[in-house]
Structures are given as C-alpha cells and as structure tokens.
Amino acid sequence: MNVNLATITGIGSVSPYGPFAGLILPSAVELEPITAWKTAGLRRAFLVKPFRPADVVPGLKTRRLDRLSAWALVTSSLALQDAGIDLSQVDRSRVAVVLGTGFGCAELTEAFFQSAAVNGWSGTDPSPFPEGLANAPASHVSLLHGLRGPNITVGTTGFAGESALIQAASLLRHGQADLAIVLAGDTLTRAVYEWYEAANLLSPACYNPDLQPEGGGFVPSEGLVALVLEPAGRRDVRSYARFSSGCCAAGGNAVETIRALLGDSVPNLTICAGNGAPCGTSSPTDLAREISGHDADVVPAQAVAEGLADAGALLHLILALSREPRSGQALLLATSGDGGFAALRLELL
Amino acid sequence: MVTGIGVVSPYGIGLDCLQEGMLSGKCCLAPTKDVYPGFEGSTAQVYGLPLPAKGADFRYSRSDRLAMAAARDAVATLDCENSAFREGGVFMASTVAGLSEIDPEIAEDPAAWYRRGSGLARAASYPPAHVADAVGDHLGVRGPRCAISAACASSAMAIALSANMLLDGAAPMMLAGGSDALCPFTLSGFSSLQALDKDACRPFDQNRKGLNLGEGAAVLVLETLDAAVARDANVLAVLRGWAMTNDAFHSTAPQTQGAGLADCMRLGMEMAEVRGDEIGYVNAHGTGTPLNDVAESHAYETAFRGCGRPVPVSSTKSYFGHCLGAAGALEAAITIMAVRCGALLPTLRLKDPIESPGVEWLQGEVRREVLPLAMSVSAGFGGSNTALIFGSRS
C-alpha cells in the first residue's frame, strides 16, 4: 500500500518502562511476579506498574474505565504534548483516532462475565458493558480531546499495530483527516494470561526467577503506545520518522511483496516485530536478511514488545528509535505463524 | 464498484430471501425466550446456518459461521481461481465475535474453563480478528486482513475503509462486511442498560421504547471500476461516497442535535459530489431508542436543509432487529437492493412519527420509484458515525 509521506511527530507510551512522553529512556526492565490475581505458584510477566493517571496528566478522570481506556487517555495526551500540538488551534473535526488492539477492554469484559456469574444474566452490572467494548479506548480519546474525525478500532491477527498505522496513514492520504492519533496495545488480564498458559506458550522464565526471557518462549506483556501522525511538511517541527508505505498480508510471497513495496531502496535497518514464528520457512530475522542482504543491520524483536502479541508493533518501533538512534531507510517487519507478514517502510530522521 | 453481495439474515441465506421477505413486509421478530429462556422481549434469529466441517465446529464462533456463510454467498458468482480474488483482502466487522462461545464461569477460574471440553479453542475465537481470519481462510484469500470493532457503525466502516484500501492499491479486491451473533452477553448488556423494547421495536415513532436485537452477516465484494471492467464483472451498484465522523460527546448517548451524524452525511455527499435532493432514500440507523431516533431526526434536518422536498427515511431494523456490528453491512445491502429494485421500504409499525418537517418518514406500503442514489447511515456507542452513498451503475 502506498501512502503519501506521513510523519510521526509525537510519542506517548505506557509500558513496563512506565509512562513516557517521547522516546523511552533506555533502562532494564524486569519480569514482575503477578499479584493482581491468585496464581498457582510464581507466575511472571512484563507488567505496567500501577500509577494514577491524574499524576501523569493532571485532571484526568479514569474511574470505571478499563485500564486500556485509561492508558489511551494518558498516552494520547503525552503524544500530543510531545508533538507540541495545541488542540485549541486545530480543527478537531479533522483529527482521527485509530487504535489497534488484540483483546480490547478485556478487563471489563471479564468483569461483565463476573457479574453474570454472580448475579445471573438478568442481574448484570450495566457499567462494564459499554466500557468493555473494544472501541471504548479510542472513543474516550475522542471524547477527552474533542476529536470529531474518524474513530476506528482495528484488529489483525499478529499485526494490529501495523494495521492501525496503515489505516491512519490512509485516512491522511485520502484527506479524511489532517492529523491522526494512532494507538496500539493491550492489557494483560487473568483470562488472557491463563489462556497463554493453557496453550503451553509461556516461556520457562514466567515460572522461574533465575531465567531470562531471552531463553525462549513467550512472555506476556502489556502497555499502549500512541503516535501523532501528520502529513509530512505540514508543520516545521521535530519528527521521529516518516512513514511512506506499508503492507500486510495473510499469505503469499513475502519477499516479492516487500521488495515491491521498497522499490529500489534497500533499508539500512530492519526492526523485527511480530512473534518470531515462521513465515513459510523464514523467521522475521531470516526474512530481513533475505530482503536486505546478509550484512543487513537487523534489530531483533524485543521480548517486552513481543509479549504484546498482535499489538506490539508501535512499542517495537519506539524501543528501536530509543535504543538505536540513527537516520536512513528502515523497515519494520513482522511475521505470523501461518504465513502472514507485515512490513512498514520508514525513514528515520 | 460493488460486484457481489452475500447476506445471512433471519430471512435466510442470500439477498433474494431478504428481498422477498422485506418487500412482503414480513417481520422476523419473535419472543426471545423461545431461544434464550429467561430473557424477555423480541429478537430475530438466523435458522439453518450451515454447520462447519466435522471436527472444526469448536474452532468457529457463531459470528464466524454467519460471516463465512455470507462471504461464500457474496463470491458465489466469482471465479475463485482468479488471481485478483486470491490476492484479495478481507475487512470484517464484529462487536460480539467469539463472546457468544464463552460462559460466565470463565470469570471464576479461566484455567479450569479452558481445560473443560473445547474451552481453549472456543476462547481463541474471542477477538474480532478471528472473524476476518475465518472468512479469509474459508475462501482461501491471502491479501490484507483486518477486523474492525466500532460498535454499531463497525461494518459500515469496514466498507468505507475497504474502499480506501482499494484506492491505495492495497488489494485488487476487497471483501468487506460484518457479522454478529445473538448471545446472552449482548442480550444481558442491552437489557442492563434498559435499552430493549419488550415488544417489537417502533423506530422513529413517538411511542418508541427501545431496540430489539437480531443477528446476521453481510459481505460486499468491492473492486475498482478498472478492475471490474477488466474482468467484465456484473456491477450491482456503485459506492459513490463515504465518510466517518465521531460525536466526541458521550460514551453511549448520541450528540443531542445529531451534529456528528449530520457532518458525516454532509461529508459523504461532498465526496460523492451530490446534493441532498439527489438522495432518493436514506436507510437510517433508526434503533428505536428514545435518544438515538430524536438525535438522528435532527441530523437529517441539518444535513438535508435547503432541499426542495423532505428526505425519505426508514429504519429497516423494524424487520429483524439491530444486528450490531453486522447492521451497517446488512443495511448497505438493503440500500443497494432498494436502488436496484426501485423500492423504498417503510418502517414497520410506525404510526405516530417524530415531528420532523424536513423528513418524510416512510410508513405503510413499499413505495416504487426510480432511485438513482440512496444513503445508508450508521452510528454506534462511542459516538462513531458512518455514511455510505450507493448509486446504480448508470
């Protein structure tokens, strides 16, 4: 998919590194023991440490919201602040919000099931029902900031974050918005964690404090990243990267498709995202080398972002920008276990 | 270009069933307790849904199965070995997705629930993305896949965003639509919000009391004009314009004056380069809830102000309820049907319409007239609005 250049001018994140406006300050992040629910022995994951949203964004009210909605309000505010955007000077009917998520508001969905388990279907608590809808976080972003442009919540197996970025850029290209807030992420809940466990997907490091996540397997994570996306050259401001094109497919020849996307340019950096599962016979790293050559500079997938499964792309991207500051052409590359792939072409600034 | 339409509705599988049922004025709403004991009110259920292959039934939710049947119906006349089809994309909407397969007991002890029977696989169908995968895998298409969950505007948005993707060159063909199953989760949720009418709903009536839930799926095959002409496709309708806005007003209530919806209709008409008086019919969102219908009537007054005549509007949710994430695509299919048949469908049970001088509330009998352009309007929790404008090929 070709899009006119769209520039990333603001970043906000809530992740196991904490809440940040702009790039994440490089630091070590540890697996934390799960205490939010009773576990059968030690269970670990990459967790967002509890914080009061109003301590990060003064005045923010998040009671009764799913954590994903609360984080959407925090990250969108931080990203707008980072981009230096004064919304009172912007036509807010021209601002879009696009969220990519795998599980949506899983916490309040579970809460609604909980109220049905306790009171029966005829006695459910009304408040978690609308707040548990997958589009609630994006809707709250529009509500908080008064944004009246398109409001979209997408999911794609393996590539929800990539899909969100592609859809947002498409809205800008078609003149359906002048500015977009793109978000991607998920919360970790008991039902989600125990699904991974029941499916035998968890890394041994989830059970053993002496093991590191790099040892293999999957370590669940949580967090949300927001980016401000604007048409290139619209404002004379600092930019992190320019997004020029992207593709996402459920199958087919990944190398051929991505080479067609890149045209004549060969990226000097490939940022691997996705779950590292085989794409045909290629892992993301192998696929990166096949596309860019064996000497290609490849940033392997980061475990903390990989743990976000479908919705990790934006965290992969900002971690790479934080840790590997450089300029030039870059490719954000992800594969899924069943032949799917996603590629975003970026120019790092 | 719309070159295929697949529908699964309470009338059965196929657009012909839907057309025959609606033109005859048949209402599919029936007592909910017949299907879901313990629930009051009226709902519309799909019967005769094909079963998946033996051994695979636990992998697919009811929303998946509705979507797969609609998609199969949509591509029935296409050459599925064609490369454009193989490289095609899938954009499906769902709000329920696999929630229909999950029991409240999951909340008490998820691990135990997963171990029970096919719990693990049933829970895997939970994300809306599973519906897009079910359709894509079922048909063997391998282009881009995406799911959207924007409450009741979802599948109208899937169609709008698929049109964007075609213009972007993301795929040579898009299968776009939505699917949602009836299930205790949504029945209970809307009941807890006191949004359900215990009797058959009466959209736009002064005595309306709420909505009824339904289920179904619809999928449109979309191609660019060039692609459709190149393969000499049977063009069923032209998607002339589309727009999406948000109210930024309230989590569940529409903006009282319908300002966001009015903006959406205006933007859609601008894109289609048509005037309000050229729109011969509007298929409304028309849920039958007190707040929605009055806000929507204000939106029509604003969007069609200055037209030489009141704009003809009806809500076809009065025939088979509100199908949530599938509603936008089902109503897009009905709007195309109206254009193709030259048939303006009335709102059933509409006796005493909301006073709105700029609107002609269609009631009584089906009205026959040539209909070059019609609009389908959708809105949803979270303030999302979508307008789609369809025209005949000519």
Substitution target in A95, A124, A165, A200 with the highest count of B β-carbons within 10 Å is: A124
Active-site residue flag, B298:
no
Residue A326 tokens, joined: 């450089």
Task: For residue A290, give the 3-state DSSP assignment.
Answer: helix
Asked if the Cβ–Cβ distance from B165 to A170 is below 8 Å, we say yes
- Please determine, for residue A233, whether its predicted confidence score (pLDDT) is greater than 90: no
Find the catalytic residue in B152, B201, B264, B323. Answer: B152
Instruction: Determine contact, residues A280/A254, Cβ cutoff 8 Å.
Output: yes
Q: If you compute the radius of gyration of chain B from its CA atoms, what whole number of angstroms results?
A: 20
DSSP B17-40: HHHHHHHTT----EEGGGTSTT--
Count of beta carbons in the 10 Å neighbourhood of residue B56: 10
Q: How far is A26 from chain B (nearest CA, A)?
A: 33
CA-nearest residue to B86 within chain A is A252
Tell which residue, A205, A113, A67, has the closest CA to residue B113.
A113
CA-nearest residue to B250 within chain A is A143
Q: Where are the domains of chain B?
A: 2-230, 241-391
A48-84 per-position pLDDT tens digit: 999 999 999 999 999 999 999 999 999 999 999 999 9
d(CA B84, CA B174): 10
**For position A279, what pLDDT does the model report?**
52
Per CATH, B2-230 and B241-391 having the same topology is answered yes
Entry pTM: 0.97
A268-319 per-position pLDDT tens digit: 888 888 755 545 556 788 888 888 888 888 888 889 999 998 999 999 999 9
**For position B32, what pLDDT does the model report?**
96
Instruction: Determine contact, residues A319/A305, Cβ cutoff 8 Å.
Output: yes
B2-230 is classed CATH 3.40.50.300: no
Flag whether residue B187 sits within 8 Å of chain A, measured between CB atoms: yes
> How large is the average pLDDT for residues A328-332?
91
pLDDT band, very low/low/confident/very high, at A3 (cuts 50, 70, 90)? very low
Count of beta carbons in the 10 Å neighbourhood of residue A215: 12
Active-site residue flag, B250:
no
Evaluate the CA torsion angle A313, B180, B258, B281 in order and state its sign: positive
B241-391 is classed CATH 1.10.3210.10: no
**Using CB atoms, which residue from B120, B132, B142 is nearest to A249?**
B142
**For position A281, what pLDDT does the model report?**
52
Residues 6+ apart with CB under 8 A from B355: none
**Helix ranges, chain B (H):** 15-23, 62-74, 83-86, 110-115, 119-124, 129-139, 154-168, 184-192, 225-230, 259-272, 290-303, 317-320, 327-341
Substitution target in A157, A197, A243, A244 with the highest count of B β-carbons within 10 Å is: A157
Residue B166 tokens, joined: 């075609």
Task: For residue A297, give the 3-state DSSP assignment.
Answer: coil
Long-range contacts from B361-366, C-beta under 8 angstroms, 24+ separation: B361/B204, B361/B313, B361/B314, B362/B281, B362/B312, B362/B313, B362/B314, B363/B314, B366/B23, B366/B25
Find the catalytic residue in B138, B285, B298, B323. Answer: B285
**For position B213, what pLDDT does the model report?**
98
Q: With beta carbons under 8 A apart, name residues in chain A contacting B107.
A: 110-111, 113-114, 116-117, 191
> Can you point out the beta strands (E) in A127-213?
151-155, 179-186
Task: For residue A270, give the 3-state DSSP assignment.
Answer: strand
Residues above pLDDT 90, as percent of chain B: 92
DSSP state of A10: E
Q: Kindly list the structural domains of chain A, giving each domain's residue range(s) and its CATH number in brackets, ordered by start.
A: 2-231 (3.40.47.10), 241-348 (no CATH)
> How large is the average pLDDT for residues A162-181?
97
Active-site residue flag, B138:
no
Tens-level pLDDT at each residue, chain B (394 residues): 999 999 999 999 999 999 999 999 999 999 999 999 999 999 999 999 988 777 667 889 999 999 999 999 999 988 877 888 999 999 999 999 999 999 999 999 999 999 988 899 999 999 999 999 999 999 999 999 999 999 999 999 999 999 999 999 999 999 999 999 999 999 999 999 999 999 999 999 999 999 999 999 999 999 999 999 988 999 999 999 999 999 999 999 999 999 999 999 999 999 999 999 999 999 999 999 999 999 999 999 999 999 999 999 999 999 999 999 999 999 999 999 999 999 999 999 999 999 999 999 999 999 999 999 999 999 999 999 999 999 998 7
Asked if the Cβ–Cβ distance from B149 to A155 is below 8 Å, we say yes
Which residues of B, range 248-307, sit inside 8 Å of A by Cβ? 248-252, 260, 263
pLDDT band, very low/low/confident/very high, at A148 (cuts 50, 70, 90)? very high
**For position A1, what pLDDT does the model report?**
47
